[in-house]
Structure 1
Amino acid sequence: INSIFVVAPSTTDARLEKVTAHCSGFVYAASLMGVTGARTGISAGAKDLVDRIKKVSDTPVAVGLGVSTREHAKEVASFADGVIVGSAFINALTNADSLDSGIKAVRTLVEQLALGVREGRG
């Protein structure tokens, strides 16, 4: 089992060093301050946070909070080691009329997110 800690854009560089020293697996970089959930875009501060983390740690960095579209995944994949998606899957299921349509919506979302990641890595 890996220790995965969350760091926020407001985390100081000194604190980043302390937190990332205890991470294994990956560092969870919160793309913005706030609660989870789909957003209209990825914060400009997300890339800056990833850059700051990579200066103090060799542990892979995954970005989450607000990732819900192919374009979001593409953007995040262009600068982070991983893309974290949560609420978008819950929304796809809960906004569906039936379990079958919810599963199809999740499958479609996965395909679109994966395409975005591949494009971002391009």
Structure 2
Amino acid sequence: MIDTTSSKVSRAIQAKRDAGSGAVIGYLPVGFPTLSTSIEAAVTLAGNGIDVLELGLPYSDPVMDGPVIQAATQRALAEGFRVRELFPAVREIVSQTDIPVVVMTYWNPVSQYGAQRFADDLAAAGGAGLITPDLIPDEATEWMTAAERADLDRIFLAAPSSSEERLRQAVEASRGFVYTVSTMGITGARSDVDAAASTLVERLRAVGVDNACVGLGISTAQQVREVLEYADGAIIGSAFVRALAEGGVERLAEVASDLASGSRVS
């Protein structure tokens, strides 16, 4: 496993583990509903119990995102969001929070921007790393090199369909955590988090994972508690995006506080 001592994300997860719980990772797209509001919303998550921020980079073909997130990212693009605006947004969020900020993006925008330039600009803005959902480790040499030079976390995905070899590759290539996909298919809140998630975490443990964080489908504090019984982190996306869309930052704060309560030690 890659050394994680310089990883802000690993340290945040370890702090929650030392406290007897796990981390809550909160996702929001940058630029939704406006750039300024998305910055305020991210800071709001950080102030209401979220341990790691995951900022989505709007993309024109978000094949893994569910309808709630797709609608939000498409609105951000319609409002004129551009990749170059990500970095000052990250800088502003980092200046107002003390939790790690990672970016989730499909590979094409990074490739178009330039992998090393992207890594350097993200690091300069205070970002902690990158989640690349459509990039597999054996095709990620360019990004691995760029991220290592910039001292950024590299977060790859593991799915229930992944072979043992693919899981091992994800574990060896990742720094920060392995994004553990709880269900097959697109993102979106579900009434039950798939039981396949716990099995997948067990498989990742068997090949040496340090931090396995489960995403796709978590929408209640009870689900957070259930996931943190076997995983190191619970990733929440659609529930936060919906709250922001329907009730603004005030509603987002309420939902974040509620869901974060699932990580509290009783």
1:67 matched to 2:218? The reply is yes
CA-atom RMSD, angstroms?
A: 1.2
Q: Counterpart in 2 of 1:52?
A: 203
Of 232, 235, 245 in structure 2, the residue corresponding to residue 94 of structure 1 is 245
Q: Give the aligned length.
A: 115
1:84 matched to 2:235? The reply is yes
| TM norm structure 2 | 0.42
- Give, in whole Å, the separation in 1 of the partners of 2:192 and 2:250: 24
Residue 109 of structure 1: how far off its partner (Å) = 1.3
Structure exhibiting the larger radius of gyration computed from Cα positions: 2
Specify every segment of 5 or more residues in structure 1 that has no aligned partner in the other structure, as ranges: 97-101
Amino acid at match of 2:222: E
Amino acid at match of 1:110: A
| TM norm structure 1 | 0.88
Contact 1:23 1:59 in 2 (8 A): no
Residue 14 of structure 1: how far off its partner (Å) = 1.8
Amino acid at match of 2:227: V
Contact 2:167 2:207 in 1 (8 A): yes
Amino acid at match of 1:12: S
Q: Counterpart in 1 of 2:255?
A: 109
Report the secondary structure of 2:210's partner residue.
Answer: coil
Amino acid at match of 2:193: I
Residue 92 of structure 1: how far off its partner (Å) = 0.4
In the TM superposition, structure 1's runs of 4+ consecutive aligned residues that sit over 3 Å from their partners are none
Report the secondary structure of 1:21's partner residue.
Answer: helix
Residue 24 of structure 1: how far off its partner (Å) = 0.4
